Amino acid sequence: MMIKQNITETIAINIEGEVDTYYFTVLKDRYEKVPTEYQDAKTLFEMYAEKMVMVPLSKEESEQGGISRYEPANKKIWIDVQKDIYAIESGGIFFHEFAHMVVDLNHMYEKVVPVGRFKEFSEALIAEASDYIGKWEKRASELAEKYRVAPERREEFIYNKTMELMKKDILESNSYFFPYGSLSDILDGGSHDKYQISQGHCPEDGHAYWELPYHLPDEAFADIFRCQILGLKEEITKIKKIFSKSYEMYNTILKSIINK
């Protein structure tokens, strides 16, 4: 049975199944604390909240490692509520999947191919990822020459050194922990799963996740939207450093939706 659940006095979402009521407190808190500079993201949520149907993930699927998914076929968002409540960035899974729904409802791709501005967004992401990664692969190759790395170890050395150099550049330190999951996800997609610093996507239905052309702009849109709603200014700064053009295009797409 589907019921309407208020997030605020004026915003409600559709729910199928039983959900821990504390979850709605988490979502309300996130909504109310969106920084002023990300007002467009907040407006988008206000516009589309009542179009979504949220279903709590089953215990069996959660135990098998499932966290969340959006299903275009039935327009439903499936979420492991407890994982999202107790995540470091609580509520982030909800808003990430919500953004996938918005992309779908605005027909930003046909079958598996991005179209219009979304295609341009995808092309910008790939180009900027290639430029950034290429810079560090070149540096890693130079170091391989400097250290006279054996030919049989050269490829592995360049790969590992490139990962190390990118991580250090982004973190501005040698920290092992990489906190920017959304940025890692975008770099993973932009490199076609070659460089997954901390988070990315596993193969899906026997195919590499990033083989489908719409996945990169779809995930990047959801990643940036999540960062804005949660007010992750530090991560947004890091994203803008590498994907400056793409970030501007994201905001253009966002404005085009809310100004329809």
Q: Across all residues in the chain, what is the average pLDDT?
A: 94
The tens digit of pLDDT for each residue in 231-248 reads 999 999 999 999 999 999
- Pick from 36, 45, 37, 92: which is nearest to 67 by CA? 92
The tens digit of pLDDT for each residue in 71-119 reads 999 999 999 999 999 999 999 999 999 999 999 999 999 999 999 999 9
Mapping DSSP to helix (H, G, I), strand (E, B) and coil, where does residue 69 land?
A: strand
pTM attached to this predicted model:
0.95
Cβ distance 184 to 178 under 8 Å? Answer: yes
Cβ atoms within 10 Å, residue 100: 20
Cβ distance 137 to 158 under 8 Å? Answer: yes
- Pick from 257, 214, 260: which is nearest to 45 by CA? 257
Going by their DSSP bridges, the two strands 12-16 and 53-56 should be labelled as parallel
The tens digit of pLDDT for each residue in 3-29 reads 999 999 999 999 999 999 999 999 999
